Amino acid sequence: MKKRLPPLNWLRSFEASARHLNFTQAATELNLTQAAISQQVKGLESQLGVSLFKRLPRGLELTEAGQAYMPVVHEAVERLAAATDELFGQGRKRLLTVRANLVFFTTWLAPRLERFRARHPEVGLRFTSNIWLDEREKEADMEIRYGQGVWPGYKSSRLTWDDLFPVCAPLLNTGEPPPASPDALGGHTLLHVIGYEEGWGHWLNQTGFHKVDPSQGLQFDTLITALEMAALGHGLALGRTSLVAGMIASGRLVAPFEQRIATNEAFYLACPAHQYMSPQAEVFWSWLVEEAELARDEAQLQPEI
């Protein structure tokens, strides 16, 4: 059976007394009486079953047990004080942690973040990537996921409504232009993304180009990597409207074919259904959903990219 940890105030009294080797000075530092400090140290010694100090006529001296215990307690108190000051100290603000899909953050969210910061400078943000991350390893207030929008125990809001279509560089790294028709894709490198259900096989089947082998090419674990490889001319990737608009507008990517299909998968803002949502989290959630709806409205008014 694990031994119960001593009360924090007993440990603080021991740590201060051990540093000063004097109960009176420790009492002054902690704003307590000398009698209270002495009583708390006695309580700690009683719980631990050892003496931590030798009471001498002119002060205190640590016993061997006290000398061994002091560094551990001192480090724990210092770390706790530093963390408390960092997270909750005067002038500090709690950071809102958002775990974001990397391609969504890079191509969609990052260009819009300045608008949120200008509107809500009081909200501190921390972004983490979800690459290779076990959900149990790091807590987040919310996260941006890709999928069908249904995850047991989670609530979600849809952020993207995309078409799926091939994209590539204006000139491939062979010096050739992009293929003129999807029928010619068999002679080019297809860039695949692991974990996306709506991949090349799905697009080729939906558009009727069944003779193209969808299995050939290169595989990547992130869409941003596949898009960068496409922009460098190494093959063709499947773009999603909201994610490739900027790269197409800049000329780094082109969409060589007219054929495109609506995606069933999308990016969603999600969090545990019964998780407490802080005011900062509510503000960011509302803003992000508002931005997504605005982007959808703007896309419907613009010609196809």
Quick: pLDDT tens for 240-295: 999 999 999 999 999 999 999 999 999 999 999 888 888 889 999 999 999 999 98
Q: Assess if residue 194 is contained within a domain.
A: yes
Q: Is the pLDDT of residue 82 over 60?
A: yes
Residues 189 and 100 in one domain: no
Residues 75 and 116 in one domain: no
Which of the listed residues 69, 88, 107 is the one where a domain comes to its end?
88
Residues 119 and 81 in one domain: no
Asked whether 223 and 229 are in contact (CB, 8 A), the reply is: no
Domain that holds residue 28: 8-88
Q: Give the integer Cα–Cα distance in Å for 39 and 103.
A: 59
Residues 108 and 73 in one domain: no
Of residues 261 and 300, more confidence is placed in 261
- The domain spanning residue 47 has which CATH number? 1.10.10.10
| Banded pLDDT at 132 (limits 50, 70, 90) | very low
Residues 169 and 248 in one domain: yes
Q: Give the integer Cα–Cα distance in Å for 184 and 235.
A: 13
**CA 140 to each of CA 9, 49, 128, 131: distance values in angstroms, whole numbers, following the listed order:** 31, 41, 9, 14
Residues 284 and 168 in one domain: no
Residues 82 and 222 in one domain: no
Q: Assess if residue 177 is contained within a domain.
A: yes
Q: Is the pLDDT of residue 3 over 80?
A: no
Q: Is the pLDDT of residue 42 over 60?
A: yes
Domains in the chain, number:
3
Q: Give the integer Cα–Cα distance in Å for 195 and 147.
A: 9
Q: Is the pLDDT of residue 137 over 90?
A: no
Tell me the whole-structure pTM to 2 decimals: 0.65
Residues 16 and 82 in one domain: yes
